[in-house]
Amino acid sequence: MKFQTARWPRGRVVYFDAMSSDVAVQIDAGVAVLTLNRPDQRNAYTAEMGALLSRAYRDCDDDDDVRAIVVTGAGRAFCAGADFSGSASPFDAPDADSGFSASPIDPAAFELRKPVIAAVNGHAIGIGLTIALQADLRIVADDAKYGVVQVRRGVIPDCMSHWTLAHLTNLGVAAEVLLTGRTFTGAEAVAWGIANRTLPAERVLDHALEIARDIATNVAPMSAALSKRLLWDTAINGYTPREVAALETQLHQRVMGTDDATEGVAAFLDRRPPRFTARLSAEWTPLPEPEV
């Protein structure tokens, strides 16, 4: 799968596959916007879309010009779920050598170092919602429908949703969403802890971009990366409070006294935007094991 690139004004870049534009990527002022781009099919998920989104995640995470990522959908839907328009069902039995995975987005959004915001601008059903559940933040449209409906199609939920939902909410909410497969509203998503906030559909992307631009302008990239990895690695590895305390201490020792720590304080005192210079591409070191 080959990507082509085109330079837009003000440093903006668009990536798209030579044979498909199922995912469009725009980068501007430190923010990458990844758009699921099949609006005539309500952005129904295909294997090509999954591969493109995975590639875009990897590219953005490795690009020092990207400090925050927004995922959204073209048109009036975020993603209506699996694409049933072809001659074969996406739920047909896979060939033994097909490499099938129920978690086709690799890496998942929570495995990146950059903050990922899902701007869920319309309906998010099935894998459309389970992809969004992997983001760090979710802004959802208040007049759209949401649901992990796979149990009503004779299969089971995907994209690690048995883990993400239980960690974002609780087992009771996860059970209701996953075992009933019913759809729910944006207000319910916020009440359950699935979404951070719900807004009119036309405001969802703008609000997500506002958050992303604030991160890109005011948050040190290394600090954001370390904090995100500690947050999610704690959930993944089941760290105890004392193990988290030990890691927080080790990571403080890594960033205290750096140029960015000096700049962050100076910018705050001078009441100006900070000019952070640490580059993840050259300076990133994975989190250590906790030393308790």
pLDDT value for 14: 53
- Neighbour tally for 95: CB within 10 Å: 8
pLDDT value for 17: 45
pLDDT, tens digit, 9 for 90 and up, residues 107-145: 999 999 999 999 999 999 999 999 999 999 999 999 999
Query: Cα separation of 142 and 258, whole Å?
Result: 43
Query: Cα separation of 26 and 12, whole Å?
Result: 6
pLDDT value for 5: 45
User: 100 falls in which pLDDT band (50, 70, 90)?
Assistant: confident
pLDDT, tens digit, 9 for 90 and up, residues 180-211: 999 999 999 999 999 999 999 999 999 999 99
User: 84 falls in which pLDDT band (50, 70, 90)?
Assistant: confident
Query: Cα separation of 285 and 290, whole Å?
Result: 15
Tell whether the torsion through CA atoms of 183, 186, 187 and 191 is positive or negative: positive
Domains plus CATH for the chain?
Answer: 3-216 (3.90.226.10), 220-283 (1.10.12.10)
pLDDT, tens digit, 9 for 90 and up, residues 161-176: 999 999 999 999 999 9
Instruction: Identify whether the C-beta of residue 160 lies closer than 8 Å to the C-beta of residue 111.
Output: no
Percentage, residues of the chain above pLDDT 90: 86
pLDDT, tens digit, 9 for 90 and up, residues 207-242: 999 999 999 999 999 999 999 999 999 999 999 999
Instruction: Identify whether the C-beta of residue 75 lies closer than 8 Å to the C-beta of residue 139.
Output: no
Write down the H helix ranges in 63-180: 127-132, 161-168, 171-180
Query: Cα separation of 107 and 87, whole Å?
Result: 29
Instruction: Identify whether the C-beta of residue 162 lies closer than 8 Å to the C-beta of residue 207.
Output: no
Contacts of 70 (CB under 8 A, 6+ apart): 31, 32, 33, 34, 116, 117, 118, 119, 205, 208, 209, 212
Burial 268-292 (b: 16+ CB within 10 A, else e): eeeeeebebebebeeebeebeebee
pLDDT value for 54: 98
pLDDT value for 114: 99
Chain centre distance of CA 282: 23
Res. 19: pLDDT tops 50: no
Strand runs (DSSP E) across the chain, as ranges? 3-7, 13-17, 23-28, 31-36, 68-73, 77-79, 116-120, 123-125, 137-141, 146-147, 197-199
